Amino acid sequence: MKKHVSNFVFRGLVAAGFGPIILAIIFGILGAAGTVTALAPSEVCLGILSITLMAFIAGAITGIYQVESLPLPSAILIHGGVLYLDYLIMYLINDWIPHNAAAIGTFSTVFVLGFAAVWACIYLHSRKKTAQLNQKLHADRR
């Protein structure tokens, strides 16, 4: 258990270093869209702290795949659920999405489709690599 905790913390700390960079990109996009034209110091502080926490959680939760006793479908569901809650809560706290059902529904749909697309790419890539390795192993036996 101690090994898993230290792995989660290490992964989180590595990812948290990218939090301010991600925030700069988000604020840049919001500024380019005309959504944000000026920020109060409290908004900047909240943004930096929350995006750093968001990045820490997103990085740390990838350690779930290192827990060998956990079946892959369960790990995927835990990973997706934690990311969803992490992003949704931080987006709402920072007012990056409106606090209404339509906006949360849109966010949820985009998140689920994005998460599924990433996992479909990973699955297809892994399947292709496995087939290549099996073909090579089979050829080496001859």
Mean pLDDT, to the nearest integer, of 38-42? 84
Residue 40 has φ and ψ, to the nearest 5°, of -80, 155
Question: What pLDDT sits at residue 103?
Answer: 96
Residue found under tokens 């089979």:
138
pLDDT at 142 over 70: no
pLDDT, tens only, 81-139: 999 999 999 999 998 899 999 999 999 999 999 999 999 999 899 999 998 888 888 87
90, 54 contact by CB (below 8 A): yes
Write down the pTM of the prediction.
Answer: 0.75
Question: Is the predicted pLDDT of residue 26 greater than 90, yes or no?
Answer: no
- Half-sphere exposure (Cβ direction) of 75: Cα atoms closer than 13 Å: 13
Q: Which residue has the higher pLDDT, 96 or 16?
A: 96
* Pick from 7, 45, 3, 4: nearest CA to 27: 45
**Count of residues in the chain:** 142
- CB proximity list for 99: less than 8 A, separation 6 or greater: 92
CA distance 139 to 142: 6
